[in-house]
Amino acid sequence: RKEVEQDPGPFNVPEGATVAFNCTYSNSASQSFFWYRQDCRKEPKLLMSVYSSGNEDGRFTAQLNRASQYISLLIRDSKLSDSATYLCVVRADTGNQFYFGTGTSLTVIP
Amino acid sequence: SAVISQKPSRDICQRGTSLTIQCQVDSQVTMMFWYRQQPGQSLTLIATANQGSEATYESGFVIDKFPISRPNLTFSTLTVSNMSPEDSSIYLCSVERATDYGYTFGSGTRLTVV
């Protein structure tokens, strides 16, 4: 079983739509969780960390459900510039090993 | 957060040759990480580079194929040796962020082996 699993999509949504991505992780002792954004032919960039209490940054809301071992990312009022691949990243409970999901592709359509 | 300069940004290489990728960080960091992202795949950790000691390689990666240098706290190199087309990939260096324990990545090196 993979450490981190994501629906690869693609998700094609119209501008202004709300879209949600989920990600599951296998190690219940994982400590840190992140969503990264990767544009085509670019390096991944941190979008937001994910905390147990949930966190919001503008149109983006991240949630962590430890009991079910999943992380979610909600994007409201989608913009064309949100088109990218969104990577779910989980840090192992020990050491510095990060596990990356394969990414979920989002295309926002005019 | 740290700023990482990675070069070259891309290269096309002949099989059997070697390519050295450099990463320069604008601040001192204890560990630097080298990742590979093959087409359509997610990131896979190659090795962790510590200053003053040998790099720690993940399963499936060996020093003879991917030698790493870490001469000081701001610089590291990864060499892809005796390249084959299967080595065609994006190679990324990264450092841990002090604020939230996430990663900051270099801009990546897109390698094509022909």
Residue type, A3: E
Residues of B with CB below 8 A from A44's CB?
43, 92, 103, 105
Of B33, B100, B107, the CB nearest to A49: B100
Tell me the per-residue pLDDT of B23-39, one tens digit each, with 9 for 90 and over: 999 999 888 999 999 98
Mean pLDDT of A51-56: 86
Phi-psi region of B73 (alpha: psi -120 to 50; beta: other; left: phi over 0): alpha
Q: Indicate if the pLDDT at residue A94 is higher than 90.
A: no
Q: Indicate if the pLDDT at residue B60 is higher than 90.
A: yes
DSSP B55: P
